[in-house]
Amino acid sequence: MSGKRAGRTAELATNLARVEERISRACDIAGRARSEVTLVVVTKTYPAEDVRDLAGFGLRQFAENRDQEAAPKAAACADLPLNWHFVGQLQTNKVRSVVRYADYVHSVDRLRLVSALSSAVTRLGRGPVHCLIQVALEKEGQKPDEAGHSGRGGVAPEGVAELADAVAAAPGLRLAGLMTVAPLSGAYAGAPAAAFERIGEISRSLRERHPAANMVSAGMSADLEEAIIAGATHVRVGSAVLGVRPTLG
Ligand SMILES: *Cc1c(COP(=O)(O)O)cnc(C)c1O
């Protein structure tokens, strides 16, 4: 191993230990077992070698937000026992590629995408893809046409039930739960703890109809503690493990 690679591996180990410590401490504060929270590492903009190092530390859950980057990276790691999570806005013309490697899609936010995912999975003949409805809390109270699909992805809380029913009924898909990103605008801007409490409430009402849909994917590098305290089952952490990204993404 080159000195440069060894240095990077050590850096990842240090960063990961720090994130693990933060997760454990938040679990303690919340009175939750560490095993109730899964760390999903978001490797966007970082190379497959970093994924390989992290897999060597025992991590299995990895996420990407762009198919163009994710597809080759997942292929480069195909010999490892990993689960890939797709967490970015997903265009229907990318769906056939995404279902070749992704076991989880966190960004389901419209009916058109549900039918595209379902037919792609069925055609490929693979096992089910676990789908999370992405909730845009900043769109709360907006009519679906106003909310549209411009800007960041996600459906308004009012649209969750209809999408969830569609996923649950779709061949090849499993309704896994909800995903959210702390809003930058609207009533929850700058208030991630309140946002994550709200997603917890929406999750409870979802589970009245779909008891198995118990994943709550919330919390990133800046706010994973707030998410865990509010009940998140999956935190999506990029920069705190891999470093600040050189480009936007
Ligand atoms: C990049 C990204 C993350 C991770 O963000 P960090 O702030 O780097 O931890 C989480 N979720 C989504 C949807 C992302 O695109």
**Beta strand pairing status for 38-42 and 234-237?**
parallel
- How do beta strands 102-108 and 38-42 pair? unpaired
Asked whether 242 and 8 are in contact (CB, 8 A), the reply is: no
Q: Report the distance separating Cα 221 and Cα 239, nearest Å.
A: 6
State both tokens at 214: 């118990």
Q: What is the mean pLDDT of each run of 10 residues along the chain (249 residues)?
A: 89 98 98 98 98 98 98 98 98 98 98 98 98 97 61 91 98 98 95 98 98 98 98 98 80
Do 104 and 117 form a contact (C-beta atoms < 8 A)?
no
What pLDDT score does 16 carry? 98
Residue nearest to atom 12 of ligand 1 (CA): 87
Structure tokens at 4: 């440069």
pLDDT of residue 190: 95
Ligand 1 neighbourhood includes 45 CB (under 6 angstroms): no
What's the pLDDT score for residue 33?
A: 98
Task: Judge whether 183 and 136 are in contact, CB under 8 Å.
Answer: yes
Full-model pTM? 0.96
- The Cα 201–Cα 172 span in angstroms is 27
Q: Is the CB of 181 under 6 A from ligand 1?
A: yes
- Burial of 150 from C-beta contacts in 10 A (0-12 / 13-18 / 19+): exposed
Pocket test for ligand 1, best of 41, 43, 220, 242 (most atoms within 8 A of CB): 220
